[in-house]
Amino acid sequence: MTWKTKTLGELCKMYQPTTLSKKNLNTNGKYYVYGANGIIGMHSEFNHEKSELILGCRGTCGSMKITKPYSWINGNAMVIQPNENEILKTYIEYYFKGIINFSKIITGTAQPQITRQSLNPILIVYPSLSKQQEIIAKLNKYIKETDKIILMTETILKKLSQSKKVYYKKFLSSNSSNNTTEVSEVVDMFPGFAFKSSDYTDSANGISLLRGDNISPNFINLENCKYFPKKLAIKYEKYYLQADDIVLGMDRPYISSGLRVAKIHKTNLPCLLVQRIMCLRVKPRILSDYLYLIMQSPSFINHLAKNQTGLSVPHISPKAIESFKFVLPDIKLQSSFINEYQKINNQVNSYNKIQQDKVLSLKNLKLSFIKQEIQNNLI
């Protein structure tokens, strides 16, 4: 069998369509809108009648998909239209996923992008249309079976994440007869200080400064933190953090991975609190671990969302934090809840890790099968 070799530019017409801004999306529309990484919304109009092969080419680079008919494709996706009398869209899609090294065609650092200039010279090796269809059919069958397993595994992961919420709700409902309290009644709260950036030092001999970018959901990262000179830190004693303090980012409090709340550990100390972060230090009526779990609950997160201000930079006020009401059982019940929750959490996280590794392995196996199938046919 004779295989041919041509450049992508010779085989395909490539272009970036007109971009539809998010504010112009029509959520009641019946046509899908595609961005660099897939479907981003709906619209009342379409700019492509047929299914098209698209490649994410700005921001999210390298994601390749075949769109549904009658769709709007935005300009951060490159439309790749092959001459289908010679080469099929799905063959190109599999070829890219199995053979192409995207790191060699992505340019830019601040804003990664893929251009027609970088795509045009890519060499594509391809057989007759009938052989392409044979390869595609074999890959489709394997991928369908693999995707079914991946979907089942991801469903298990979702159920696992729900199990913690179920226990949390069950505990609160069983203790609903307890008095409720406000955060303000059980903690001492104080925000950080506006330390002058001109006084910052990169010397690890200084005191670590906990700034907003050092707080992620359930995690304090001081690896690349700024430091404050010890000789200047003496007069800021009230801003020194303590083990078991809970800190909450007040600007952009919620990100895709969760609420930016974390607990201070001994390994994070000594550390000074910087402005736009709130510290919550518990009083004797409440255990720090119990308050920490309360602050990760959906009800607390929803409460903050309702009281959030600002558009470009979402912000929560001290009042929004301290006004939250919750069930406060006695210390013994708090301790029981914490122990049981942590036991469930450890079991879920352990199984979660196994399932996540399984999904990753299946996805890698799928890509290696695509690569192997195409390369075997190239020999």
**Does 218 lie in the same domain as 159?**
no
**Does 118 lie in the same domain as 18?**
yes
**Does 19 lie in the same domain as 115?**
yes
Please state, rounded to an integer, the average pLDDT across all residues of the chain.
87
Q: How large is the average pLDDT for residues 126-147? A: 86
Residue 9 is predicted with a pLDDT of 94
For the stretch 19-48, pLDDT in tens is 887 777 877 889 999 998 889 889 999 999
Residue 102 is predicted with a pLDDT of 83
**Does 138 lie in the same domain as 231?**
no
**Does 212 lie in the same domain as 170?**
no
For the stretch 364-376, pLDDT in tens is 776 777 777 777 7
Please tell me which residue, 165 or 101, carries the higher pLDDT value: 101
Rounded to whole angstroms, how far apart are CA atoms 209 and 268? 10
Sign for the CA dihedral angle at 100, 104, 109, 115 comes to negative
CA-nearest of 32, 140, 18, 21 to 79 is 18
Please tell me which residue, 376 or 115, carries the higher pLDDT value: 115
**Does 9 lie in the same domain as 132?**
no
Out of 243-247, 272-276, 359-363, least confident range? 359-363
Q: Is the pLDDT of residue 278 over 90?
A: yes
**Does 294 lie in the same domain as 263?**
yes
For the stretch 324-342, pLDDT in tens is 999 898 899 889 888 888 8
Rounded to whole angstroms, how far apart are CA atoms 224 and 239? 20
Residue 103 is predicted with a pLDDT of 82
Instruction: Label each residue of the chain as H, E or C.
Output: CCCEEEEHHHHEEEECCCCCCHHHCCCCCCEEEEECCEEEEEECCCCECCCCEEEEEECEEEEEEECCCCEEECCCEEEEEECCCCCCHHHHHHHHHHHCCHHHCCECCCCCECCHHHHCCCEEEECCHHHHHHHHHHHHHHHHHHHHHHHHHHHHHHHHHHHHHHHHHHHHHHCCCCCEEEHHHHEEEEECECCCHHHCECCCCCEEEECHHHEECCEECCCCCCEECHHHHHHHHHHECCCCCEEEECECCEECCEECEEECCHHHCCEEEECCEEEEEECCCCCHHHHHHHCCCHHHHHHHHHCCECCCCCECCHHHHHCCEEECCCHHHHHHHHHHHHHHHHHHHHHHHHHHHHHHHHHHHHHHHHHHHHHHHHC
Residue 101 is predicted with a pLDDT of 83
**Does 258 lie in the same domain as 243?**
yes
**Does 310 lie in the same domain as 192?**
yes
Segments forming the whole domain that contains residue 171: 128-178+329-379
What CATH number does the domain containing 59 carry?
3.90.220.20
Pick the last residue of a domain from 289, 308, 323.
323
Please tell me the total count of domains within the chain. Answer: 3
Residue 364 is predicted with a pLDDT of 73
Rounded to whole angstroms, how far apart are CA atoms 146 and 148? 5
Residue 289 is predicted with a pLDDT of 94
Rounded to whole angstroms, how far apart are CA atoms 43 and 158? 29
Rounded to whole angstroms, how far apart are CA atoms 359 and 378? 29
Rounded to whole angstroms, how far apart are CA atoms 278 and 248? 5
**Does 229 lie in the same domain as 167?**
no
Residue 174 is predicted with a pLDDT of 61
**Does 188 lie in the same domain as 318?**
yes
CA-nearest of 290, 296, 283, 298 to 336 is 290
Please tell me which residue, 365 or 107, carries the higher pLDDT value: 107
Out of 85-94, 214-223, 261-270, 346-355, least confident range? 346-355
Residue 270 is predicted with a pLDDT of 93
Please tell me which residue, 60 or 161, carries the higher pLDDT value: 60
Residue 139: band (very low, low, confident or very high) from pLDDT cuts 50, 70, 90: confident
Pick the last residue of a domain from 302, 323, 344.
323
**Does 275 lie in the same domain as 168?**
no
Please tell me which residue, 280 or 156, carries the higher pLDDT value: 280
